[in-house]
Amino acid sequence: MTRKVTIRDLAEAAGVSVTTVSQILNGKGERFSLDTRRRVHQLQEELGYVPDFNARNLIMKSAQTIGVLVPNLGNPFFSMFIRGVQEASREQHFIPLIFGANHDEKLESYYVEELIKRAVDGLIIASASITAEAIDNILKKNGIPYLLIDQNGGPSLDRIRIDDERGGQLAAEHLLSLGHRKIAVVMPEHPTDNLVIRLAGFKERLAESGVMLPDSAVVISPMTKLGGYQATAGVMTQKPTAVFAINDETALGLMRGLHEQGLNVPTDISVMGYDDIDLDEYVVPKLSSIRQPVVTMGQQATTLLINRIQDQRQAAQLVDLPVELRQRESTGPVK
Amino acid sequence: MTRKVTIRDLAEAAGVSVTTVSQILNGKGERFSLDTRRRVHQLQEELGYVPDFNARNLIMKSAQTIGVLVPNLGNPFFSMFIRGVQEASREQHFIPLIFGANHDEKLESYYVEELIKRAVDGLIIASASITAEAIDNILKKNGIPYLLIDQNGGPSLDRIRIDDERGGQLAAEHLLSLGHRKIAVVMPEHPTDNLVIRLAGFKERLAESGVMLPDSAVVISPMTKLGGYQATAGVMTQKPTAVFAINDETALGLMRGLHEQGLNVPTDISVMGYDDIDLDEYVVPKLSSIRQPVVTMGQQATTLLINRIQDQRQAAQLVDLPVELRQRESTGPVK
DNA sequence: TTTTTTCTTGTAAGCCTTTTCGAAACATGA
DNA sequence: TCATGTTTCGAAAAGGCTTACAAGAAAAAA
């Protein structure tokens, strides 16, 4: 490979100064004669000149880059989220740096630090393990704008708010309408804000109909397929007619567990998920769920963040996103 | 936020030159007195000095970054692959830039270009749409090392080779051993090299037992859940006793389709997948599959690439990875 | 004491780009 | 002829870092 072509080479070849080249190539070259502009562009093609990324960033103080931290890339919910992020990033000529932290606090800290070192312009954090305060601390100190997902009450300036309370209510209404009165819930040990709110909405709506959800009916288990599977025993001791799994992954694991125990969904027990991942349509029985507009969430989060990056002093932005019930086959009338 | 602390500030505070600071902070400071070294380190802490990433890269001509292109982040197979990539990257202090191209050729080209602009040190491409030649062309011109996944016969120097032929054979053997003789296959329209080899192994082993697989028994459909679902009709017209879906995603879609047609898996028809994604253990019935060590693949691919980056002139590297049968519930004896 | 060696540190060039501030060159109007 | 305006372009600084090379001081050798 030959040495890299620099702006200097190009300037020399075109018989102009580096200033001229730089200006023209950056769309600020109206002041130059058409002839010069054409010549520069043509020679760029010929020589295959590509501005050096690092040199440019050094001056510009921005690499047009955002960091994105999700708990688990394997969860379709987050891969959909990422998809939204990538779409919006592309439109704005940003590049997302994506990391799955696998629910590991050490890893999260490592990535956040690494991203700061690498001078990302902003951060989207959809990860539960680090506390919001710790994040706020380190990022604010570094002057890096950020957005927290799944932390409706967090300290970040801009917010994208999903109506989790309504989501919980919808789930409750649906189960109530099918006649369920004895209901269990599967939740993780350290729920993020949105999950707490989700559960609150659920309980609240239940209570309105005179159905109490005792603490004992809330089975604690990790938010993964395995976690759902492992929660099976805990759920069964409650002998509920319906279970509300806090997300679809968990629901999928739980359904497998119930199946192994010889229970039929939904005739013996109804299962309600949350997130509306694409898999819901394929499993047997199809999983009833609450839909979150997750691709939109990714897009909006990205847009909000980039807006913030481009104008740090603008007013706080707020986006509200709706949820809706997706009734499928895993929920049915109580016997 | 206060202005960023530069190496100059730190040098001044410590009463030494920037050279001293630079050398000490980069582990090349044995020549300096212990006293000086301690002072510098301490003041770094106190002032919170972080070397400017771009300035450093400008000199070093490397951002310790690799690009990773996968067809679809939503497929657990690739999210596992990514996981391996991230693990290995972390160990080597590299950062992967990850992109899902959604099987879109335009998108792939866009990302490859963007990654070149951003001066990544190397590329891992596990994406089917761009031809291997096109990739080789553009990357070789830019002197960027790369590694192709799912392209066993590709032009890239280093290779990580999965024994897809054996994988196909294993699938065939398994179905044969259960007594199946009438078998269908679901494949995508433009299969990558590894898929072609996989099918060849499958056919070959079948042929050895005197079972022919006519072209008409190969149903063409995209490698997604939806693709598998849509292939159902095509499969059923063959009236096979077993189906080999070219990957698990496809198999999942197909199983849903078969279920809707009132067929029971495996008593009416056996379904065999490929990839051994985690979901296989959760669906009902559990999906029989061929396991590829995908996390290892991601790790090895990353390691190989980084080795290559660090020594462009070393001999070609080759890693062979095994496959194995994972018999589960979706395959059973022929009636 | 003088010379040589060993420790310890600093000077300055260079990486490649963007951008500020002018300055030639030329035409125009008085 | 001179002042003024317009068009077109360039010199040079700045950005923060690494590193080849030089050099001063102290210790050892002569």
- As to burial, measured by CB atoms within 10 angstroms (0-12 exposed, 13-18 middle, 19+ buried), residue B320 is exposed
Architecture of domain B63-161+294-322: 3-Layer(aba) Sandwich (3.40)
Token pair listed for A202:
């659920």
Q: Confidence band (pLDDT; 50, 70, 90) for B154? A: low
Residue B22: C-alpha distances to residues B26, B27, B29, B44, B59 (Å) = 6, 9, 9, 11, 13
Please tell me the least confidently modeled range out of B130-139, B156-165, B255-264: B130-139
Which of the 8 DSSP states describes residue B238? T
Token pair listed for B30:
């044995």
Looking at chain A, the whole-number percentage of residues with pLDDT higher than 70 is 98
Please tell me the least confidently modeled range out of A245-259, A283-297, B42-56, B320-334: B42-56
Cross-strand bridge partners of residue B147: B124
CA pair distance B251, B245, nearest whole angstrom:
5
**Section B94-120 average pLDDT:** 92
CA pair distance A10, A22, nearest whole angstrom:
10
Question: Does the distance separating the beta carbons of B98 and A83 come in below 8 Å?
Answer: no
Q: Confidence band (pLDDT; 50, 70, 90) for B1? A: very low
Looking at chain B, the whole-number percentage of residues with pLDDT higher than 90 is 78
Please give the single-letter amino acid code of residue B66. I
Q: Indicate if the pLDDT at residue A130 is higher than 80.
A: no
**Section B61-83 average pLDDT:** 94
CA pair distance A248, B263, nearest whole angstrom:
26
CA pair distance A110, A87, nearest whole angstrom:
26
Provide the pLDDT for residue A323: 98
CA pair distance A153, A164, nearest whole angstrom:
12
This prediction has a pTM of 0.93
**Section B102-117 average pLDDT:** 90
**Section A148-174 average pLDDT:** 89
Provide the pLDDT for residue B35: 87
The dotted CATH code for B164-292 is 3.40.50.2300
Architecture of domain A164-291: 3-Layer(aba) Sandwich (3.40)
Question: Does the distance separating the beta carbons of B80 and A119 come in below 8 Å?
Answer: no
Q: Cβ distance A217 to A199 under 8 Å?
A: no
CA pair distance B292, A241, nearest whole angstrom:
40
From the options 2.120.10.30, 3.40.50.2300, 3.40.50.150, 3.90.1520.10, give the CATH code of A64-162+294-323: 3.40.50.2300
With CA atoms as reference, report the closest residue to A115 among A95, A87, A129.
A95
With CA atoms as reference, report the closest residue to B75 among B228, B257, B284.
B228
Provide the pLDDT for residue B103: 82
Q: Cβ distance A334 to A178 under 8 Å?
A: yes
Residue of A nearest to B255 (CA): A282
Out of A83, A117, A143, closest to residue B73 by CB: A83
Out of A98, A259, A281, closest to residue B284 by CB: A259
Q: Cβ distance B286 to B280 under 8 Å?
A: yes
pLDDT (tens digit per residue) in B124-152: 999 777 777 888 888 888 889 999 998 76
Average pLDDT, chain A: 93
A 10 A CB-CB count for B189 gives: 9
Q: Confidence band (pLDDT; 50, 70, 90) for A235? A: very high
CA–C1' span, B22 to D18, in Å? 7
Shortest Cα distance from B200 to chain A (angstroms)? Answer: 29
Nucleotide nearest to A22 (CA to C1'): C18
A258 touches chain B (CB under 8 A): no
**Section B228-238 average pLDDT:** 97
Nucleotides of chain D in contact with protein CB (under 7 A) are 7-12, 14-20
Q: Cβ distance A206 to A213 under 8 Å?
A: yes
Residue nearest to nucleotide D16 (CA to C1'): B55
Q: Indicate if the pLDDT at residue B252 is higher than 60.
A: yes
CA pair distance B306, A139, nearest whole angstrom:
30
Q: Which residues of B, range 130-169, sit inside 8 Å of A by Cβ?
A: 141-143
Q: Indicate if the pLDDT at residue A152 is higher than 90.
A: no
Residues in A touching B6 (Cβ below 8 Å): none
Residues of chain B with CATH 3.40.50.2300: 63-161+294-322, 164-292
Residues in B touching A99 (Cβ below 8 Å): 86
Residues in B touching A141 (Cβ below 8 Å): 1, 48
Residues in B touching A83 (Cβ below 8 Å): 73-74, 100, 102
Nucleotide nearest to A52 (CA to C1'): C16
Q: Indicate if the pLDDT at residue A59 is higher than 70.
A: yes
Q: Confidence band (pLDDT; 50, 70, 90) for A242? A: very high
Residues in B touching A76 (Cβ below 8 Å): 74
Helix (H) / strand (E) element for A75: namely none
Between residue 39 and residue 98 of chain A, the positions with Cβ below 7 Å from nucleic chain D are 55, 58-59
Token pair listed for B47:
């002032």
Q: Cβ distance B167 to B152 under 8 Å?
A: no
Q: Confidence band (pLDDT; 50, 70, 90) for A143? A: confident
CA pair distance B280, A157, nearest whole angstrom:
42
Cis peptide, bond prior to residue B322, ω within 30 of zero: no
Nucleotide nearest to B32 (CA to C1'): C8
In chain B, beta strands by DSSP E: 65-70, 95-100, 122-125, 146-148, 159-162, 183-187, 218-220, 242-245, 270-272, 289-291, 318-321, 324-326
Residues of chain A with CATH 1.10.260.40: 7-51
User: What burial letters (b/e) apply to A14-26, b meaning 16+ CB within 10 Å?
Assistant: bebeeebbbbbbe
Q: Confidence band (pLDDT; 50, 70, 90) for B183? A: very high
Q: In what order do the strands lie in the sheet with A218-220?
A: A218-220, A183-187, A242-245, A270-272
Shortest Cα distance from A27 to chain B (angstroms)? Answer: 18
Architecture of domain B7-51: Orthogonal Bundle (1.10)
**Section B70-85 average pLDDT:** 95
Q: Confidence band (pLDDT; 50, 70, 90) for A168? A: very high
Out of B54, B114, B116, closest to residue A63 by CB: B54
A5 touches chain B (CB under 8 A): no
B268 touches chain A (CB under 8 A): no
Provide the pLDDT for residue A1: 47
Provide the pLDDT for residue A313: 87
Q: Indicate if the pLDDT at residue B2 is higher than 80.
A: no
Out of B54, B99, B282, closest to residue A252 by CB: B282
With CA atoms as reference, report the closest residue to A192 among A127, A275, A103, A111.
A127
Residues of chain A with CATH 3.40.50.2300: 64-162+294-323, 164-291
Q: Cβ distance A164 to A152 under 8 Å?
A: yes
pLDDT (tens digit per residue) in B281-297: 999 999 999 999 999 99
